[in-house]
Amino acid sequence: MYRIIKTLNHNAILVVGMEDNQEYLLLGKGIGFGKKISERVDATEGVSIYSMKNISEPGTAKQMVRDTPAECFEISNRILEQAEVEFGEIDRDILFPMANHIAYAVKRMKAGEQISNPLTSDIRILFYKEYKIAELAKSLLKEMMNVEIMEDEIGYIALHVHSAIEDEKVSVSMQMARVIRECVTQIEEQTNKKIDILSLDYNRLMNHVKFMFARAEKGEVLKLNMNAYILQNYPKAYEIAEAVCGQIGKALNKDIDEVEIGYLALHVQRVLMEEKE
């Protein structure tokens, strides 16, 4: 049982738990309709419950709720519900920073400002499912707030979705996308070839670097060492891969295990072979 502190709109209310005296945000169709402060409510089926104490910056919870349009919480909740259908259990606490981001995006759109995200294409490939889910924001914002959101903003929302799935900070996901973009650019420069972002080779390369990045972060090591074979048969690809691994290590401030070089070189070799065709 909960007691209402504030009704945000028909579908969102701020409450306090009667048993634990903790504050919560409840989101559900019609949950706030006709409700008054101090009235008691139950969280019935279909109502999403978000604990205010889990906001990363203590003391800002009420201010965030006050400054963020309720529709932004509703939109974020709908996105997270879809993410849960697609991926299973997720970290729902990302609702607050996601709603806050959407609120600022709406302000920018209404002011005629456009934010640039040079990594949007990379994010779309790296986090394909997350991006498709984030696209819900486009139709929901148009329907609920009459705002047209840009694709670059969807890219940022996709990072929030990924953060909810992997329990990873948005800044870390952004760093991953940036490092991978730099690595792909380096491979393009070394091979003197522009890699088609819609090609299978590009998708494979991006995903390989993505998982290499993740292994470096977690300290995981590949077991099979193919370096000697790759160096002998594909020396140019090996040289390029070695330089790229060095760049990733420098970006992460970590040593990349040398076994990674051979695996990355196989992807580089595909690019080199396509160059000759």
**Per-residue model confidence (pLDDT) at position 272:** 82
**pLDDT surpassing 60 at residue 199:** yes
**pLDDT surpassing 70 at residue 277:** no
CB pairs under 8 A, 24+ apart, for 196-201? 197/121, 197/125, 201/267, 201/270, 201/271, 201/274
pLDDT tens-digit readout, 181-196: 888 888 888 888 888 8
Residue 219: pLDDT band by 50, 70, 90 thresholds?
Answer: confident
Enumerate the CATH 1.10.1790.10 domain ranges in the chain, comma separated.
68-168, 186-276
Count other Cβ atoms within 10 Å, centred on residue 264. Answer: 25
Query: Domain 1-54 classified CATH 2.30.24.10?
Result: yes
> What's the rounded mean pLDDT across residues 234-261?
89
CATH number belonging to domain 186-276 = 1.10.1790.10
Enumerate the CATH 2.30.24.10 domain ranges in the chain, comma separated.
1-54
Residue 220: pLDDT band by 50, 70, 90 thresholds?
Answer: confident
**Per-residue model confidence (pLDDT) at position 146:** 92
**pLDDT surpassing 80 at residue 243:** yes
CATH fold group of domain 68-168? PTS-regulatory domain, PRD (1.10.1790)
> What's the rounded mean pLDDT across residues 194-217?
82
> What's the rounded mean pLDDT across residues 192-218?
82
247 or 231, which is more confident? 231
Count of alpha carbons within 13 angstroms of residue 216, beta-carbon side: 26
